[in-house]
Chain A
Amino acid sequence: MNPESLLQRPLPAYTQKCTIGCPILDRFLEGGIPCNSITEIVAESSCGKTQISLQLLLSAQLPTSLGGLSASSLYLHSESPFPFRRLHQLSLSNPTPKDPLDNILIHPLHSADHLLDLLSRLDSVIVNPPPQTRFPIKLIVIDSIAALFRSEFDNNPKDLKRRSSLFFKISSKLKAQARRFGLAVVVTNQVTDIVDSSDGVRVGNSRCLYSSGRRVAAALGLSWANCVNTRLFLSRNEENVGEDDGDFVRTRTRRFISVVFAPHLPNSSCEFIVAKEGVFGVDRYNAIHCQNRELS
Chain B
Amino acid sequence: MEVRSLPISASQSAKLISAGYTSLSSLSSVLPSHLAQELGISENEAIGILKVASQRGGVEITNQTHPTIVNGAQTAWDMLHEEESCGHITTSCADLDDILGGGISCKEVTEIGGVPGIGKTQFGIQLAVNVQIPSKYGGLEGKAVYIDTEGSFMVERVSQIAEACVKDMQEYDSFLRKDLPADQVKLQPYDFLANIFYFRICSYTEQIAVINYLEKFISEHKDVKVVIVDSITFHFRQDFEDMALRTRLLGGMALKLMKLAKKFSLAVILLNQVTSKYSGGSFQLTLALGDSWSHACTNRIILYWNGNERYAYIDKSPSIRSASAPYAVTGRGIRNSASKCKRVKMM
- Interface hit among B29-37, B84-92, B202-210: B202-210
Chain B residues lying within 8 Å of A176, measured Cβ to Cβ, are 202-203
| A207–B308 CA distance with the chains assembled, in angstroms | 7
| A168–B246 CA distance with the chains assembled, in angstroms | 15
A29 to chain B, nearest CB (A): 11
| A264–B210 CA distance with the chains assembled, in angstroms | 26
Q: How many A-B residue pairs have CB under 8 A?
A: 137
Chain B residues lying within 8 Å of A133, measured Cβ to Cβ, are none
Task: Tell me whether A172 and B200 are in contact in the complex, defined as CB-CB below 8 angstroms, given that A1-B209, A204-B116, A268-B347 are known contacts.
Answer: no
Query: Would you give the 0/1 interface string for A197-210, flagging 1 where the beta carbon is closer than 8 Å to chain B?
Result: 00001111101000
**Residue A252 is within 8 A (CB to CB) of chain B in the complex:** no
B305 and A202 form a contact (CB under 8 A) = yes
Query: Would you give the 0/1 interface string for A143-181, flagging 1 where the beta carbon is closer than 8 Å to chain B?
Result: 000000000000001000000110011001001101110
| A180–B125 CA distance with the chains assembled, in angstroms | 23
B210 and A13 form a contact (CB under 8 A) = no
Option from A37, A169, A296 in Cβ contact (under 8 Å) with B345: A296
A13 and B150 form a contact (CB under 8 A) = no
**Residue B20 is within 8 A (CB to CB) of chain A in the complex:** no
| A201–B273 CA distance with the chains assembled, in angstroms | 13
**Residue A288 is within 8 A (CB to CB) of chain B in the complex:** no
Chain B residues lying within 8 Å of A11, measured Cβ to Cβ, are 155, 158, 193-194, 196, 198
**Residue B159 is within 8 A (CB to CB) of chain A in the complex:** yes
A157 and B117 form a contact (CB under 8 A) = no
Chain A residue nearest to B121 in the complex (CB)? A263
Among A211-243, those with CB < 8 Å from B are: 222-223, 225-226, 228-229, 231
A168 and B305 form a contact (CB under 8 A) = no
| A10–B201 CA distance with the chains assembled, in angstroms | 17
**Residue B291 is within 8 A (CB to CB) of chain A in the complex:** no
A175 and B278 form a contact (CB under 8 A) = no
**Residue B234 is within 8 A (CB to CB) of chain A in the complex:** yes
Taking residues whose C-beta sits less than 8 angstroms from the other chain, chain B's interface range is 35 or more
Chain B residues lying within 8 Å of A202, measured Cβ to Cβ, are 115, 305
B278 and A157 form a contact (CB under 8 A) = yes
Chain B residues lying within 8 Å of A3, measured Cβ to Cβ, are 199, 206, 209-210, 212-213, 217
Taking residues whose C-beta sits less than 8 angstroms from the other chain, chain A's interface range is 35 or more
Option from A165, A172, A204, A205 in Cβ contact (under 8 Å) with B235: A172
B199 and A231 form a contact (CB under 8 A) = no
Option from A1, A261, A266 in Cβ contact (under 8 Å) with B347: A266
Option from A6, A204, A207, A223 in Cβ contact (under 8 Å) with B199: A6
Chain B residues lying within 8 Å of A172, measured Cβ to Cβ, are 202-203, 234-235, 238
Chain B residue nearest to A268 in the complex (CB)? B347
Chain B residue nearest to A6 in the complex (CB)? B199
| A8–B235 CA distance with the chains assembled, in angstroms | 20
**Residue A112 is within 8 A (CB to CB) of chain B in the complex:** no
Query: Would you give the 0/1 interface string for B6-36, flagging 1 where the beta carbon is closer than 8 Å to chain A?
Result: 0000000000000000000000000000000
| A176–B202 CA distance with the chains assembled, in angstroms | 5
A9 and B198 form a contact (CB under 8 A) = yes
Query: Can you name 8 A-B residue pairings with CB atoms under 8 Å?
Result: A3-B199, A175-B151, A179-B200, A202-B115, A223-B275, A228-B116, A293-B331, A296-B345
Interface positions of A (Cβ within 8 A of B): 1-4, 6-15, 30, 34, 36-38, 157, 164-165, 168-169, 172, 175-176, 178-180, 201-205, 207, 222-223, 225-226, 228-229, 231, 260-261, 263-264, 266-268, 292-293, 295-296
Name the 5 nearest CB pairs between A and B, nearest first: A261-B117, A204-B117, A3-B213, A176-B202, A264-B154
